[in-house]
Structure 1
Amino acid sequence: MNNPSSATPVLHLAGVEKSYNRGLPNQVDVLSGVDLSVAAGEVVALVAPSGAGKSTLLHIAGLLDTPDAGTVEIAGQALSGKSDGKRTAMRRQDVGFIYQFHHLLAEFTAQENIVLPQLANGVSQSAADARARELLERVGLAARAGHRPAAMSGGEQQRVAFCRALANGPRLLLADEPTGNLDPGTSDQVFAALMDLVAATGMAAVIATHNLDLAARMDRVVRLEAGQLHSGL
């Protein structure tokens, strides 16, 4: 567990609203005035029933979607109303995503999967290779650097996906059921690796999970119900 700083939060959502079919008779209100602040070094568990809107919330927080109302700030920068280019640059540099399924590129090795997003961000090949090796070693996969995903277990693949998400040194990590596709024993091991990575970097993290045991191991738990966030399970 980490002690969050009292400085400007890495992620700040204020009054965020999101509806689908807005203005139509079949409008569905997903988020109804969501407020959330996450500090550097803080790991927040997001729990919610299926279909409650947690993926929508993560997409808005990670600048993959825009709210109908409210503000989104990352590291003190308000992103509402910014150009697509500005949002893309912020997302590439400051936000890391992890999903339930690893989505690794099958034709590339573990190391290459971690190198590619760095090259897209302008990092040199040598620096990207060094960063990939460092991250793989940190999660105990240095010996698997040259293996393609098909030659790795599910838990190994997901740990590579963690490394890829952290490759560019994001300030904010957003994870949507990152261990949901794994058996309980592997899930616990992979979650421990993720927490170690977050602790080593001091980033802010929001991790959506149905696993209440894992949620209880994070710094704070927020619950999404009826479009709003509440503290605790």
Structure 2
Amino acid sequence: MSEPVLALDGVEKIYNRGKPGEVNVLRGASLALAPGEVVALVAPSGGGKSTLLHIAGLLDTPDAGRVRIAGDDMTDASDRARTRVRREKVGFIYQFHHLLPEFSALENVVLPQLVNGAGMGEARARGEMLLERVGVAPRAGHRPAELSGGEQQRVAFCRALANAPRLLLADEPTGNLDPETSETVFATLMDLVRETGLAALIATHNLELAARMDRVLRLGNGAITSASRGPETG
């Protein structure tokens, strides 16, 4: 069996520890994602899914438990090591695209690659390839304000995949879109994940979309309380 791309083991997170208003958000949450697996994360509002995603993506640290990405134990890693792994192995997609407004669609996909050490020619070629793949290549020179919501989110997908990560983390990636656009964007996301073979953890309130993924993990009372199989992927 292949090594998990993401493994969380007994993760706990407490806010305002020892103070009035202490909140125990995660209570021993554990999960593992295999390469090529698309997993839905479902939780009620305020149930801790964003906190879990931030810990999985090394944007936050757990108070207890272990975090491993592609076999590397990142629990006690230095800030420099966490930044490197986050940049090289993790891609993020949010409900709102967070594209840089002063740059074009292509430049938004090129910039992360330049930060990661790629040359301009290589970065542009990969950016153009990704935009072509999601059907936004004709809009490559447009700034985010000139793109539709669906186009903006597809550019955000390309940016998340720019550095060929091993792990994709998405927080309500279609939550800000109308149903028709949401369906198109979700299909694009699933195609990209299947083609690249990365592991994806996708937080969503949309149970219909969740049921179309490989597994559905339910986060309740701070722990992964159940896991159901999604459709067979062949």
Aligned equivalent of 1:13: 8
Match of 2:205 among 202, 205, 210: 210
- TM-superposed CA distance for 1:182, in Å, is 0.2
Q: Distance in 2 between matches of 1:196 and 1:137?
A: 13
Q: Distance in 2 between matches of 1:205 and 1:152?
A: 26
1:52 aligns with 2:36: no
Mapping for residues 29-68 of structure 1, pairs under 5 Å: 29-68=24-63
Match of 1:232 among 222, 228, 231: 228
Match of 1:92 among 87, 92, 111: 87
Q: Distance in 1 between matches of 2:95 and 2:51?
A: 15
- TM-superposed CA distance for 1:231, in Å, is 1.1
Q: Distance in 2 between matches of 1:148 and 1:61?
A: 31
Match of 1:82 among 59, 73, 77: 77
- TM-superposed CA distance for 1:72, in Å, is 0.1
1:114 aligns with 2:129: no
Q: Distance in 2 between matches of 1:114 and 1:36?
A: 30
**Residue-by-residue CA offset, 1:108-148 (whole Å, 9 max, x unaligned):** 11000000000000000000000000100110111111111
In structure 1, runs of 5+ residues without a counterpart are 1-5
- TM-superposed CA distance for 1:25, in Å, is 3.9
In structure 2, runs of 5+ residues without a counterpart are 230-234
1:154 aligns with 2:159: no
Q: Distance in 2 between matches of 1:200 and 1:141?
A: 18
- TM-superposed CA distance for 1:199, in Å, is 0.7
Q: Which runs of 4+ in 1 moved over 6 A?
A: none
- Aligned-pair identity (%): 70
- TM-superposed CA distance for 1:150, in Å, is 1.1
In angstroms, what is the RMSD of aligned CA positions?
0.9
SS at match of 2:80: helix
Aligned equivalent of 1:132: 127
- Paired residues, number: 228
**Residue-by-residue CA offset, 1:72-125 (whole Å, 9 max, x unaligned):** 000110001110000000000000000000001111110000000000000000
SS at match of 1:232: strand
Aligned equivalent of 1:183: 178
Aligned equivalent of 2:164: 169
Q: Distance in 1 between matches of 2:191 and 2:132?
A: 12
Q: Distance in 2 between matches of 1:26 and 1:48?
A: 21
**Residue-by-residue CA offset, 1:51-80 (whole Å, 9 max, x unaligned):** 000000000000000000000000110001
Q: Distance in 1 between matches of 2:55 and 2:47?
A: 14
Q: Distance in 2 between matches of 1:185 and 1:142?
A: 21
Match of 1:193 among 180, 183, 188: 188
1:37 partner letter: A
Q: TM-score by structure 2 length?
A: 0.96
- TM-superposed CA distance for 1:192, in Å, is 0.3
Aligned equivalent of 1:72: 67
Aligned equivalent of 1:3: none
SS at match of 2:27: strand
- TM-superposed CA distance for 1:157, in Å, is 0.3
